[in-house]
Amino acid sequence: MTVKQVVEIKNKLGMHARPAMKLFELVQSFDAEVLLRNESGTEAEASSVIALLMLDSAKGGQIEIEASGPEEEKALAAVIELFNAGFDED
């Protein structure tokens, strides 16, 4: 099964190196595949910092988070929490 949710980017600078690293490190702790999709349909595996940077998503943008695997619910909840906290940047 797969779980999905759309979140808004709240941190001032959007998806850049620090948030990408935080997200990458977070998803490593779960037994789940996490995929992010921006408004223009560009997809990025959360296990790739370079791919996350290619999302080129700014503050106010929408990101769809999709998680699958044994810990998909926990992984999705943790990623949503990170986005909602503005990656602890603000």
> Which residues are the active-site residues?
16
Give the residue carrying structure tokens 């490593």.
Answer: 28
SS3 6: strand
